[in-house]
Structure 1
Amino acid sequence: MLGIEQKKNYVIHYHNQTKHYPNRFASAPGFLEWDTQPNPFRFYRGAEKIGLPFRKDVKEIPYLNIYKNKINPTKDFNLQNLGIFLEYALGLSAWKSIPGATWSLRINPSSGNLHPTEGYLVLPDLPDLKSGIYHYSPYLHSLERRALLTSSLKEKLFEFFQGEGFVVGLSSIYWRESWKYGERAYRYCHLDLGHALACIRMSANLLGWNVTCLNQFSHEDVDEILGLRQMQQIPAEIEEGDILCLVHHSKDFHSFDSFSYEILEEFRKLDFSGVPNQLSGEHVDWEIINIVASNCKKDRTASTPQVSPDYPPMKDYPKNSSSAHIIIKGRRSALAMDGETSITKDQFLSMLDKTLPRSDAIPFDLELCEPKIHLVLFVHRVEGLDQGVYIFVRNPDDFKLLRTKLNPEYSWGQVEEDFPLYQLAKADVRSVAAAISCGQAIAGDSAFSLAMLANFEKSVHVDPTCYPVLYWESGIIGQVLYLEAEAHGVRSTGIGCFFDDPVHEYIGLKDNSFQSMYHFTVGGAVDDVRLQTLRPYHHLK
């Protein structure tokens, strides 16, 4: 078994090996074998399928209620509300079509629309639904029952849940991303998982439910509980459990360590049914992904509730009657920016404000980890702000280190009192932003773009199993920015292709104490008029 130091060295090796440079991209397929493209939908052959209802009520919830805890009426745990929860967390949002091709979009975005993330539920007895372990099928909007719970297991879980509640589990299938992106796919899978976590938390909040990450479990525990170890898997399509979350009513749930690991033995004894469908006929093995995944596997730990910085109350903006459900289903990734559309300073600050990790604000109340991601911003078209480079410091504990590590000539002028946004340098950075994002014009033609900068010194250098969690935090931030862009009448998109070290060099970093994890851009989108939009579940009618 490798020690912490060896694991740390390998994780850093993987991160460095999978960096893009202008003269060398990370290893990936030279061309795409479209005949082997992985099926984005997982099904369990032989598992009983339970169709879920869709949201039918016309009462709209204001968009800003997505972020506010304890403001939405608390709904019962039943089949109807479970269907609504999954519809707006992991369901389909639309289909796009052009002559000769049709593809689905989901509430939770994915790199290349390849969707490596799978969702599972561990449910107690509900009206019209037996307790058990279920896989969620977004294509069918149905649950696939993989196992029924024994009476003994139900009682023990009820005690742990402290009453009503259920568990949501997320897993990753690396092959879905490595088919296109090669060795960099591990990064993208965990960005996608972060987006999915945010979607789960937001959807639950609209039903008045709370979500808490159960971060004390090991990866092996997650596999056991979700039944991933008890199923036949194709080696190249291995599905690995990532995290469990408790969905519950009480915000006061804090007995994280009350779980008896003896219960796991009862999960092992369950009779699981269903055979997972094969996703591709042929595969390419990316051994580097298997190795980094192995080195990032978490052992059991004590639960670690998040300690969040103290921030002023959230800005109550935009003040409009936008529906939360319409914004969530209307989220789209921009394919190009028009190079003209600007946003106001108030809009810009509002978008950033929603990404602050307040302990009482959705989705950052998941208690995932101490915040370690900061935003380096390239401002192009924000009315009331100079063009240039800015930084949004999401954890004040990192302020001194950031100021020490970044370019010593930066001015660090605070834009607003009691708001952690600082102007570093005035400049026209449109060409720079595009160049460091693999030459993609979308990063320079927007109102602003950004790089998510992670504190490696406080995370990976201390505990290499934090590596995927940095991507989860980045994906959560990205999902907030997606919805904020929609609410403010513009569009956005995540950018996974960027030149890692040229980003660091541009802002003056000379070591790996901070590393760029994810890029993002927000602005006026150019729509593809060839695309036809179809309803998300038209194929079931």
Structure 2
Amino acid sequence: MQKFHDKTNINAKKNLTGSSFIDYRTQPRTYKKYPHFFLSFNINDYEELGFLNNIGKITDTKTYGNESIQLRVNPSAGGLYPNEVYIQLRGIKGLVSGVYHYMPLENKITLIHELSNDGLEYYFKEKNQKKFIFLLSNAYFRSSWKYEQRAIRYLLLDTGHILGSIFAALELENIPFDIDFNFDKEALNSDFSFDNYESFYVAVSCGDYKKIEVKKLRTPIVNVCACDYQIKDTFIEEFYKNSFKDDFPIISNIDLLKDINKKILYEAINKRRSIRAFRNKGITKEDFLFITKNIFEFASKYDLEIYFINNNISNMKKGIYKNVKLQKEGDFKETAIKLALNQKLAGQSAFTLFFTSSNIKNYFYLYILSGFISQILYLRTTSINLSSSGIGAYFDDITKEFFETSNNIFYVFAIGK
């Protein structure tokens, strides 16, 4: 995977010579909608599905000239929202057991496949029936239209963010779950008739239903174009095919939000926003410890190393930290701005995190987990009325040099007030 990462690096030369004009009139559609003859259902009509309200709903609308942008509980690079969510439901009173497509704009689900003795479980190692299965896909052209080859990074980060949204929604209801990367993506992509334009990245399963082994989907699922037009990108498709692996552990029993009061967590889900500028004010060490509670340990468990620059945390020495250990004391605000492609957020923050890893074997999964952890940081930060923002564009080469690491740089995340 290293060759794909290297080809999407941003360095000073590439930043100065790269093309910058984007014709926004050509932006592809950022949502998928099935024809009117498919049955759709309002989520709020089914008590057992109430938690779905919080996985990707619209929470605000901003208007720029004649354009309106609908903001969701999960962020997306450039507001392009390449992710689609499919949910298999079993045993919901008043609903047919089937595979549904989630529609965040309408807060509805659309039935796209009615189950018989078949089901999504067939494509997983554990084939017994589950109450819920979430499948997260990406329609890559929504991102590659703007970001070209570097879109591979944003697709993974966006997947991690919506995965974090699903996790938070399940946490609100105390619903246990497993995050699973090990299903047969190739077979499912084929049976969903995606033709490589859309592809599955990760799954979440919840609750045992019946100990009955299911069969393969009996018929292919009708494909609806995820964009109003699409252009093939062989680089992105080759990257995805190179990601197929079967050895990443199932993730469960995550203790990253359990300490937050449910009402406060619900409010944080709805209030979360990506800040555009900080006020250059500091935060307390207690706030820092709350925001990052269990984060460094969780990341380290999966071969992620987090560096951060302390710009303005009281009672902590300013400087460069690796995990929570001070590496070099000093004021590095201006350097942080430079590393983040001269974006002032990185230096105005109280602290700015840099997600990194040397693990190439699990590159695909660790990049997604970087976005997942960042979504948790968004919620923890928002819950104490502080602000944060992900930064997906940065100078890869000088960031590695600055931290004196050979690790690949995955993501930059700024937190402050």
Q: Could you tell me the TM-score, scaled by structure 1's length?
A: 0.70
**Hey, what's the Cα distance between the residues in 2 that align with 1:507 and 1:467?**
20
Tell me the percent identity: 24
Q: Equivalent residue for 2:278?
A: 337
1:279 aligns with 2:234: no
8 Å CA contact 1:136–1:142 kept in 2: the answer is yes
**Paired AA for residue 179 in structure 2:** C
Instruction: Evaluate the alpha carbon distance shift between residue 303 and residue 437 of structure 1 in structure 2; reply closer, same or farther with a 3 A threshold.
Output: closer
Cα deviation, residue 48, structure 1: 1.8
**Hey, what's the Cα distance between the residues in 2 that align with 1:215 and 1:188?**
18
Q: Equivalent residue for 1:165?
A: 131
Instruction: Evaluate the alpha carbon distance shift between residue 445 and residue 203 of structure 1 in structure 2; reply closer, same or farther with a 3 A threshold.
Output: same
Q: Equivalent residue for 2:42?
A: 52
For the pair shown, the structure with the greater C-alpha radius of gyration is 1
Of 43, 47, 50, the residue aligned with 1:80 is 47
Of 236, 245, 259, the residue aligned with 1:289 is 236
Of 189, 192, 200, the residue aligned with 1:228 is 192
8 Å CA contact 2:308–2:354 kept in 1: the answer is yes
Of 4, 18, 37, the residue aligned with 1:14 is 4
Q: Residue 150 of structure 1 aligns to a residue in which SS? A: coil
8 Å CA contact 1:36–1:282 kept in 2: the answer is no
Q: Equivalent residue for 1:122?
A: 88
> What is the CA RMSD across the aligned residues, in angstroms?
3.2
Q: Equivalent residue for 2:268?
A: 327
Instruction: Evaluate the alpha carbon distance shift between residue 123 and residue 347 of structure 1 in structure 2; reply closer, same or farther with a 3 A threshold.
Output: same
Q: Residue 295 of structure 2 aligns to a residue in which SS? A: coil
Partner deviation per Cα, 1:47-71 (whole Å, 9 max, x = no partner): 523222339xxxxxxxxxxxxxxxx
8 Å CA contact 1:39–1:279 kept in 2: the answer is yes
8 Å CA contact 1:19–1:25 kept in 2: the answer is no
Instruction: Evaluate the alpha carbon distance shift between residue 96 and residue 292 of structure 1 in structure 2; reply closer, same or farther with a 3 A threshold.
Output: same
Q: Residue 276 of structure 2 aligns to a residue in which SS? A: coil
* Of 124-133 and 432-441, the range deviating more from structure 2: 124-133
Q: Equivalent residue for 1:246?
A: 205
Of 403, 413, 416, the residue aligned with 1:507 is 403
**Hey, what's the Cα distance between the residues in 2 that align with 1:271 and 1:314?**
38
Q: Equivalent residue for 2:293?
A: 353
1:136 aligns with 2:102: yes
* Of 145-154 and 176-185, the range deviating more from structure 2: 145-154
Structure 1 stretches of 5 or more lacking a match? 1-10, 56-78, 359-363, 393-420, 525-541
Instruction: Evaluate the alpha carbon distance shift between residue 174 and residue 473 of structure 1 in structure 2; reply closer, same or farther with a 3 A threshold.
Output: same
Partner deviation per Cα, 1:213-252 (whole Å, 9 max, x = no partner): 233313213325xx422x6x5x7xx0011122211279xx
8 Å CA contact 1:337–1:442 kept in 2: the answer is yes
1:492 aligns with 2:385: no
Instruction: Evaluate the alpha carbon distance shift between residue 49 and residue 96 of structure 1 in structure 2; reply closer, same or farther with a 3 A threshold.
Output: farther
Instruction: Evaluate the alpha carbon distance shift between residue 150 and residue 53 of structure 1 in structure 2; reply closer, same or farther with a 3 A threshold.
Output: closer
**Hey, what's the Cα distance between the residues in 2 that align with 1:307 and 1:91?**
24
Q: Equivalent residue for 1:437?
A: 340
Instruction: Evaluate the alpha carbon distance shift between residue 115 and residue 173 of structure 1 in structure 2; reply closer, same or farther with a 3 A threshold.
Output: same
**Paired AA for residue 290 in structure 2:** S
Cα deviation, residue 383, structure 1: 1.1
8 Å CA contact 1:213–1:244 kept in 2: the answer is yes
Instruction: Evaluate the alpha carbon distance shift between residue 21 and residue 106 of structure 1 in structure 2; reply closer, same or farther with a 3 A threshold.
Output: same
Q: Equivalent residue for 1:64?
A: none
1:192 aligns with 2:158: yes
1:470 aligns with 2:366: yes
Q: Could you tell me the TM-score, scaled by structure 2's length?
A: 0.90
Instruction: Evaluate the alpha carbon distance shift between residue 49 and residue 97 of structure 1 in structure 2; reply closer, same or farther with a 3 A threshold.
Output: farther
Cα deviation, residue 29, structure 1: 5.4
Instruction: Evaluate the alpha carbon distance shift between residue 338 and residue 127 of structure 1 in structure 2; reply closer, same or farther with a 3 A threshold.
Output: same
**Hey, what's the Cα distance between the residues in 2 that align with 1:41 and 1:442?**
29
**Hey, what's the Cα distance between the residues in 2 that align with 1:196 and 1:321?**
19
Of 294, 312, 317, the residue aligned with 1:381 is 312
**Hey, what's the Cα distance between the residues in 2 that align with 1:53 and 1:176?**
26
Instruction: Evaluate the alpha carbon distance shift between residue 138 and residue 430 of structure 1 in structure 2; reply closer, same or farther with a 3 A threshold.
Output: same
**Hey, what's the Cα distance between the residues in 1 that align with 2:339 and 2:320?**
14
Instruction: Evaluate the alpha carbon distance shift between residue 193 and residue 153 of structure 1 in structure 2; reply closer, same or farther with a 3 A threshold.
Output: closer
**Paired AA for residue 149 in structure 2:** E
Cα deviation, residue 100, structure 1: 2.1
8 Å CA contact 2:304–2:356 kept in 1: the answer is yes
**Paired AA for residue 246 in structure 1:** S
**Hey, what's the Cα distance between the residues in 2 that align with 1:353 and 1:427?**
24
Instruction: Evaluate the alpha carbon distance shift between residue 435 and residue 352 of structure 1 in structure 2; reply closer, same or farther with a 3 A threshold.
Output: same
**Hey, what's the Cα distance between the residues in 1 that align with 2:258 and 2:43?**
33
8 Å CA contact 2:31–2:226 kept in 1: the answer is no
**Hey, what's the Cα distance between the residues in 2 that align with 1:249 and 1:130?**
18
Q: Residue 164 of structure 2 aligns to a residue in which SS? A: helix
Question: Which aligned pairs between 1:26-105 and structure 2 lie closer than 5 A?
Answer: 30-46=20-36, 48-54=38-44, 79-82=46-49, 84-105=50-71
Q: Equivalent residue for 1:521?
A: 414
8 Å CA contact 2:267–2:383 kept in 1: the answer is no
8 Å CA contact 1:478–1:494 kept in 2: the answer is yes
Partner deviation per Cα, 1:12-66 (whole Å, 9 max, x = no partner): 11111111112213997542121220211111225523222339xxxxxxxxxxx
Instruction: Evaluate the alpha carbon distance shift between residue 16 and residue 27 of structure 1 in structure 2; reply closer, same or farther with a 3 A threshold.
Output: farther
**Paired AA for residue 276 in structure 1:** V
Structure 2 stretches of 5 or more lacking a match? none
Q: Equivalent residue for 2:78?
A: 112
**Hey, what's the Cα distance between the residues in 2 that align with 1:493 and 1:21?**
22
Instruction: Evaluate the alpha carbon distance shift between residue 22 and residue 156 of structure 1 in structure 2; reply closer, same or farther with a 3 A threshold.
Output: closer
Q: Equivalent residue for 1:372?
A: 303
